[in-house]
Structure 1
Amino acid sequence: MYKLALLTILSLFLSTANATAQSRDFDGIWSGSLITSNGDENEITLYIEDNNVYSVYIDEDGDRAKYKMNEVIWSKGYGEQISFVWMNKGGVWTETQMYSLVWLDSNRISVHHLRHVSNEDGESGNTDWGYSSEGILRKE
């Protein structure tokens, strides 16, 4: 009986902890500018749905759509943050982009971004380059 009561209490605790792990609703379309480490400004729009983050592109009809073409996409929300990573490969290059999103309020999220690209360099190995950026996105 003691084990059953303990298991019941434990399962209630775990289900409550899991249900409250993501305490903010990031769902929606967020857009704004990120300033790169070398001073450039990049416009970005993200579509977030159930802690899944997608880049946004303009489709053939001129409408915005979720971009799902990257080979590896991963996102996870916890508390007031979502982490989003995508990877892609084409020709001689491989690219990884990582985003850390922090809830500021119902209209703003803070974004820290890292881009890292490698290029095959014949038999001698790879070259690489990258940059970081940050900024505030606003909910549309």
Structure 2
Amino acid sequence: MNWGKGLITGMAIFMLFILSMCFYMFRIPADEYDHQYYEKGLRFDADFDKERRVVTEQAQPQIRISSTEIKVAFTKPAKGTARFIRPSSAAQDKRFAIQTGEDTTVLLPVGSLAKGRWHLLLEWESGEKQYLFQKEITL
């Protein structure tokens, strides 16, 4: 084999590699990124203040997990939302409303949620102050 055939063969293989990478790139789903990235960046300071308020006021809720429900005990009466975020699939995310009475405890039904790792995001208001608490849980 002479130099000419080797150069042409090498260039052809390189061009096939580049074309296959282009085809692969266009076949990847476009949902590989966070669609609310910009909005989350704008409200980062507000969320950070809510998380810091939980720590400074020692308002961390006590969380007890069983097979059918999660018991969340707040330090004061609270009203807000609980979001279960599935890291592997955004389609499985769930949201529950939180409304405690004087007992400051709420039960969240989790029997319908898939087993595995979840990100629990509690956002509530108590005494005209807003709080945000995040925790990784396994069901």
The structure with the greater share of residues assigned to helix is 2
Q: Which structure has greater strand proportion? A: 1
Larger Rg belongs to:
2
Q: TM-score, normalised by structure 1?
A: 0.24
Question: TM-score of the superposition, structure 2-length normalised?
Answer: 0.25
